[in-house]
Each structure stands twice: as C-alpha cells, then as structure tokens.
Structure 1
C-alpha cells in the first residue's frame, strides 16, 4: 500500500540542521519505497513557490512572516486556505508534522483533522516544564496533539518528555531514531574496498591507523549552532582551560549564531586565534570535510533529544566527547564516547581523558564507521515510519500495530482509530484545561466553519490536480535496492 504524504515544518533546507536533514532523508527513502511525498515549509531568502529536489521531492515554499530562528508567526487560521489548496492539488492522505516549535506543523495538524486527513507528528526536541517559554510551548503541543493519530519521537528520553508535556497515552507514541548516510561520512583513509571486510576476521587486512605520538597535535572539532541551548557558554568557558592543560591541541569550530560574538571576544581576551579556527556557517555537504580534519568531536549541548551530529562524527572516525543530557546516552555505544556532566569542570576533565586515550592508542576509531553503518540506516527509519502510516490508516490491524488491550482506547470508545466527527474532536479538546479547553474548542469550531466556507465558495472542482513525478520502474527500483544491500 502506498500513500500520498505531506511533510510539514518551518524547518527545512536551505537552512542546515538535524530536523531539516531528517525530513529530507526520510522523504527520499519513502519516495524510493513507492510513496508520493511533498514538503510544505515557509519561503526562504531566494526560495519561494514550488521547487523540486532529488528524486522528485516537491517543496512548497509558502511566503509567511518569520519571527525567530526561522519559525513563522502563529496565526492559527490564515494558513488554512493555501494549505487546503495544496492538500487537494496533491491528493494528500497523510499529513506528517515535524518539530514542537513549528507553527506550520501545529496548524497543519489542526487543518488536516478538520479536512478528514490522518496525521502524524514527530518530536525532535526536549523542553522543560517551569519556564514561561516551555509552559507556552507545552500548551501549544497539547492543543496540537489532542487530536493526533500517532506521535513519533527520536529517542526514549524524548518519548517520556513528550508524553508528559502533552498528556499522551504512551502506547500511541513510537520511538524511531534519526539515522545517517554512512557513505557521506567516511573517514579520510576509508576506501571502497573496506566495505567488503568484516572487523576482527582473518580477512581483515586493513592497515592499522597511524598512532598519535605524545607531541602530535590533536584537533578537536565543534560543529553546532552557536546558541545557549547548544552549550556555547560552556564551550567558551572550557576552551582556554582545555588548551592550557593540553598544549598540543587545537580547535576547529563551525557554526553561526548569536553566541559567535562572545566566542570571538573570548579568543581575543586569551589570544587564542592561532589555536582556534572559526569557520562560520557551513553547508551540510561540507560537514564531513570539516570533521575528517579532527580527532575528537566535542558536543557540549545542554539539551538534546537525539544528536545526529555525534553519529556523523563517529561515522567519520572521531572520538566523541559529549554531555550526558537528554537522549544522547542512547545514541552511541560507550567505547565511542566519553560523557561529561553539563558543567565546565567536568567537560574539561572529560576532554582531557579523551585526549589521553587517543595518545595511548586505546581507542580504535578506525572501526567506528563500519559499526555506525550497521546501527543506523534511513531505509530502516522509512520502513518503521511506513508501519506507523499503515497502523493509523487501518491497513494493519490495531492488535498488530498497538498490541491487544481489551476495552482500552484513546477516546474511551473502544476504538483506537481517531474519529473525525466534530463532536468527538470537541470532547478531546475540552479536557485540555479549565480555560484552555474551552478556547481550544472555539478554535476547532472556527476552523470547521472556515473549512465549510472554503468548500462552498472555492469548491474542489475548481482546483487542478497536480501531476505526480514519474515513479521508477519496479525492476529498476529492485536493482537499486539490491546494489545498496
């Protein structure tokens, strides 16, 4: 069974990032599996209207007002007319939203349910419960997910966080991690013949890596947006101490953000310009070329649901030093990482331990790429996501998808499939809070009235159906999959 799917998020290329890469890679693999996939995002500088990417992936860049960090201004209803037009044009059957901070995502889920379309949400982030921003975000998330068909989280820690924030039944939340295209993140010395060898077997004739001597320079790479939540303040405090305790060490820092000025000021105060190279923003296709210049990847993030970049770093043969926060401990095995508390002193100690481990040649980083390639695959992510689509559309039984639990259901009706009836939807929203529940119900009613108005005054018969991108022949696709395996 194939589906017509719309990925909706404020965050997509050309902006670099983990969410953007996730949407692109997942969409590409779903297209390879025979599905039709489009992406709906806002207009970026120089990109407005409809664009096509590799493999026939169609992108709708909708012009909307941006307020902060590429997130659009939330209007609740103004996105509905153009969203409806796109959904009808492309004959969409499933709307898949991404990111808690995406206004497009939350509004698309609301409008899709009003139009009678199945919805899925993927959460990529962790949020707290005490500060004002988190309280507002969590209430918005509860609004969007009160009428969702299924939720996907990128780690088990992320699942626990999302279930608590949105008051969800844990059974309607699946964990599907991010992945990496291992072929795009090879170590510098990696050769195609290495794909044929089995680590530890007699046929393993790959030469051992050149040992790092006591006087050789060790390069530490940092690739991150320079924001507070990415631990930039922690990095600024730790760099002078790491360089002071480890003389034959240098840093390469790639990324941009508001904390870049603070980082540059620290370098000037400590006269470390010759020890720290700042590259600024780099495109995703350039990340590998930056990583292979180093030996250690430092990830000082304060909060992280998954951390795709550390998987990419390990795939490039870098030893990873990261903070023990969020879902990061779930991502890589212990022999690839050294963990630190999100504190300055502990980060300095952990980095020094990693440097000592590399100098003593106790860590075989040349094995990392093949191990990461076996652990993470976008093909596997696409297959598991496809199973979610099959579960919410009823193409596989509820017992097979959710497990058999007699008498249990999300809405108490005995049926795990969400009803599109307006009265049932209002019942789900009404329980969101004393005042919030009534406000949410009002929004749903207004959204329904707008939909009725659009159906009457702008009938579907007047909307042209878009032609789909030609699909690959079955025999060609089978040949490609065989070659990939």
Structure 2
C-alpha cells in the first residue's frame, strides 16, 4: 500500500553526515517502491524554499534560525502553521522524524499527532544519564516519544539506550540498521565477480617494511568523535612506525587543536589536514589509505566504517555503542576508548597488513552482501504497514495475513489513539512537574490547531501535484495521480469483462 510520507529533521544535505545520508537514501528507495516522500528541513546558506533532488524527491527548506550544529531554535509552536500548510498541500499520511537532537523532528511529531497523523521517529544517537545535557535531552525525548506510533533505532545497543532514556515498551521499538551504496565505495583495484569468475583472487601481497602505510580519518572534529583521543595517539603512532602517514578530513571546533598538535610535534610532512569534504568525495579520500581509524567515544552505528570497509580499508575502531555490531571481526581491530589501547590496536593493524594476514581485497563484496538500502526501505515499509493497521493479528499475537512471513523484521506495537484525553494521559505520566508542563503544551498545540483550521481553512490551501513517475510499460512519464486512477479504471474494466464472460451462453 503506497503512503505519503514526510521525513523531518534539522540534519540534511548540503550538510554531510550519517543522518543526512540515511534520510536521502531511505527516501529515494521508498520512492522507488511507489511511495510519495518529501523532506522538511531548515534553510541553509543559499538554499531556501522548495528544491527537487534526484528521483523527484522534494525538499522544503523552512526559514528558521539555526543556533548550534545546524539545529534550529526551539519555539514549540511557531513551526506549526507552515508545517500544517506543507502537510495539507502534500496530503501527508505519515510523519517520520530523525535524530533526537533535531528540534524540527520533535516539533513535527507533536504537531503531526495533533493533526491526527501517524508518527515514527528514528533515533541515530546514544546518550548518557548523568550529565545535565543528557538529562535534559532524555526528558525531551520522553516528551516526544510518549505519543508516537513507533520508534526505529539503528542498532540493538541504540534500542536499549532509547528504551531506557524514554521509558518505552521495547515492543514498540524496532532495529533497522543503516546501509551503504557499495557501488559508490569501490576500492581502486576492484574487479567485478564476473570478471574474476574463472580466476579467484590470490593471497594479498604483504607490504614491505619500508612501504608507506596511510591511515585515514574522516569525521566531524568534535569531542564525542574522539578527536582528543586522536590528537594524543597520533604522535605516539608515528614515533613507533616511521613509514606511516595520516590523512584527516573533516571540520569542527577541534580542528585548531589538531593543527597545534601537528605544529608542536613538527608532523607537517606526515599528517595532511584536508578540511571539509563533500560526501561524494569521501571515497576518493578513503582509497588513498590502507587503514581507517575511528576513535569515537560514542556511536550508535557508524556508517563511515562500513564505507571504509567497502573501499578495502582495514578498520581500527573503539569498542563503544553499536560499533561492535556493524562489521565482522576479520574486518576490524577493536580498542578500548583509551590512548594506550588505541595506539596498541593501530600497531596490531599495521603489523597484520605488513604480514599479509588481512584479505582487504574481499571486503567490498562482503559489505555489498551485508548492507542494502533496499532492505532498509522494505523493513521501514513494514513499520508503516503496522502503524497504519495493514497487519491483522490472531489471538496469539501473530500475523494472520500476508505479513506473517515478514513478522521477524518488526516488533508488534499497539496503534496510539488520537483522542486528546488519551494523549494527555500519556503525557501526564512523564513526571510530577514535567507531566503537567507537557499536558499544557499539548493543550495549547491543540487550541492553535483549532484556530488555524478556522482562520486558515484547508479549502484555501492548494494541493500540490505529485512528481510524474515513469510507466515502465511504455517508457512514458505519467502523473502519479493519473497512473493511480488509470489502475483503478483498469481493474474495474477487467472485473466487468470477467462478469460479461461468465454471462455469455455456452455454445456447446
């Protein structure tokens, strides 16, 4: 069943990142599967209004004030009028928010539930429970997820973290990992399976003791990405291994500390800082190296290490969050998030490459078989079917319909009621004081919705035409509404023809 879906987040292109790539790839694959998908994000420099991307993906860049790390200023209610206008124009049925630190995501889910729409949220991050920032973030997450139909996490560790932070029923949280377009991350020496069908690849040639090994780091230069750990480890790694060099790409507040470390240790000829790189340039940087170093302090998934493995790099990463779930052990060298252990793990990786113990030339095809955005879209579609009531259950809680074969990919969860009194009951249980504040926000949001319905009626909002889709039967492009209407007429004609056929007398 096709759905009209709105993906909402502060994080989207042209800003590079895992959430941004996830939203784009998932939206594109859902469009390929017959759904209508739009994206709502904030305006970027030189990018406002409505834009169209590949495959007819429409992006609304809403003009809101950005305060920190491309996150808009939280106002709770000011986003509602323009959000409602977009939702009605595009006839949206499901609102899918991304990232627990995205203000637009939280506000969109609140407004969507007020408008009587189904809502899903994908959490891409891990947070603690002790520091003030985590406590406030977790309380905000509990507010939003108290009235949501389903939650998706990108790893099992992320699911455990989200369930604890938001006090959720684990049955309403599914795990759907990220993926990678393997064809966009091919190693330099890649040959297709057909090209080497009659000659299997031999063992890798070990690197000689005097051959240079390049270690690549591509990351946002923030504290949580382990940049302080990287700054402490680089001089020690280079001192122990004279034929090793670093390539570091990315931008952020820790870039100054990296530059100071390089100047202090006179490493300008062995450490290259590339600055920010576009996502389409990541592969060109990765294929220059042999090892990918990922010193993150917290990570729910880590798409970049999958991209690195697809490019044929041996991955050295910290054993934190959901990273141990991402790649098999023969592709990775794990380290504790400590300076000494990171240096030792990097040394072990260098030794294995020099001895030829790692078959990095096989990584690309293995990653290609493990991760697929088509699979991610299919599993997300099952979540949409569930919250829309497309699944039916028997008395044992099992699928009674055609979805039975797919039940292992999702969790069973009840569909949340839209009634205001039921919503207030869910919010009231969020805390002694927070519960009352949350209920007040929901009531004000509902009253604002009533005012908008009266003074800006739906009849005054034009309905946007859908992007023309290609009809595979004759190669011509047709409007999606026309194709849908044509399919309905075709079914009616076919049904009438069968009835007439049955009514004809038997000549024999």
Give the TM-score range, shorter chain: over 0.9
Contact 1:147 1:425 in 2 (8 A): yes
Secondary structure, in 3 states, of the residue corresponding to 2:92? coil
Shift of residue 194 of structure 1?
3.2
Partner of 1:467: 465
Which residue of structure 2 lines up, in the alignment, with residue 407 of structure 1? none
Compared CA separation, residues 398 and 146, structure 1 to 2 (3 A): farther
TM-superposed CA distance for 1:181, in Å, is: 0.1
Residue of structure 2 in register with 1:458 after alignment: 456
1:122 deviates by 0.1
Secondary structure of 1:129's counterpart equals coil
Provide, for residues 388-441 of structure 1, a one-character-per-residue CA deviation record: whole Å limited to 9, x for no partner: 00000011125699758xxxxxxxxx9921110000000100000000000000
Matched with 2:501 is none
User: Which position in structure 1 is the counterpart of 2:169?
Assistant: 169
Task: Tell me the equivalent position of 1:135.
Answer: 135
The structure-2 alpha-carbon separation of the partners of 1:13 and 1:455, relative to structure 1 and needing over 3 Å to count, comes to same
Closer, same or farther: CA 184–232 of 1 in aligned 2, 3 Å: same
Q: What is the aligned partner in structure 1 of residue 30 from structure 2? A: 30
What is the aligned counterpart of 1:324 among 308, 319, 323? 319
Q: Shift of residue 473 of structure 1?
A: 1.8
Report whether the alignment pairs 1:369 with 2:364.
Answer: yes
CA distance in 1, matches of 2:473, 2:390: 25
What SS does the corresponding residue of 1:303 show, helix, strand or coil? coil
The question of whether the paired residues in 2 share the 8 Å contact of 1:194 and 1:206 is answered with no
Q: Which secondary structure state, in structure 1, belongs to the residue aligned with residue 264 of structure 2?
A: helix
Q: How many Å separate the matches in 1 of 2:32 and 2:444?
A: 39
Per the alignment, in what secondary structure is the counterpart of residue 193 of structure 2?
helix
Q: Give the Cα–Cα distance (whole angstroms) in 2 for the partners of residues 415 and 152 of structure 1.
A: 12
Q: Secondary structure at the match of 2:285?
A: helix
- Distance (whole Å) between structure 1 residues aligned to residue 240 and residue 200 of structure 2: 37
Query: Which structure 2 residues correspond to residues 151-162 of structure 1 after superposition, within 5 A?
Result: 151-162=151-162
Q: Secondary structure at the match of 1:194?
A: coil
- State the partner residue of 1:446: 444
| Cross-structure match for 2:493 | none
After TM superposition, where is structure 1 displaced by more than 4 Å over at least 4 residues in a row?
A: 195-198, 398-404, 474-477
1:338 partnered with 2:333? yes
Q: Does 1:280 align with 2:278?
A: no
1:246 alignment partner in structure 2: 241
Alignment partners' CA distance in 2, 1:319 and 1:268: 28
Question: Aligned residues, how many?
Answer: 463
Residue in 2 that maps onto 1:212: 207
CA distance in 2 between partners of 1:431 and 1:453 (Å): 28
Task: Give the 3 Å change call, closer, same or farther, for CA 415–139 of structure 1 in structure 2.
Answer: closer
Measured in 2, the distance between the counterparts of 1:154 and 1:310 equals 14
Structure 1 runs not aligned, ≥5 long:
405-413, 478-485
- Counterpart check, 1:194 vs 2:193: yes
Quote how far apart the aligned CAs of 1:475 are.
Answer: 4.4
Cα distance between partner residues in 2 of 1:195 and 1:327:
34
Deviation at 1:82, TM superposition (A): 0.1
Calculate the aligned-residue CA RMSD, in Å.
1.7
The runs of 5 or more residues in structure 2 that have no matched partner are 400-411, 476-508
| Partner of residue 79, structure 2 | 79
Hey, what's the Cα distance between the residues in 1 that align with 2:225 and 2:352? 25
Kindly indicate whether the alpha-carbon contact (under 8 Å) linking 1:171 and 1:402 is maintained by their aligned counterparts in 2.
no
SS in 1 for 2:283: helix
Q: Secondary structure at the match of 1:253?
A: strand
- Provide the C-alpha distance between the structure 1 equivalents of 2:178 and 2:65, rounded to a whole number of angstroms: 29
- With the length of structure 2 as denominator, give the TM-score of the two structures: 0.89
Given that residues 297 and 313 in structure 1 are in contact (C-alpha distance below 8 angstroms), is that contact kept between their aligned partners in structure 2?
A: yes
Structure 2: how far apart are the matches of 1:346 and 1:222? 17
Give the TM-score taking structure 1 as reference length.
0.93
| Deviation by residue 1:74-123 (Cα, 9 ceiling, x = unmatched) | 11000000000000000000000000000000000000000000000000
CA distance in 1, matches of 2:40, 2:422: 28
Q: Could you tell me how far 1:195 is from its partner in structure 2?
A: 5.2
Residues 415, 258 of structure 1: alpha-carbon distance in 2 compared, 3 angstrom cutoff: closer
Of residues 364, 374, 377, the one that matches 1:379 is 374
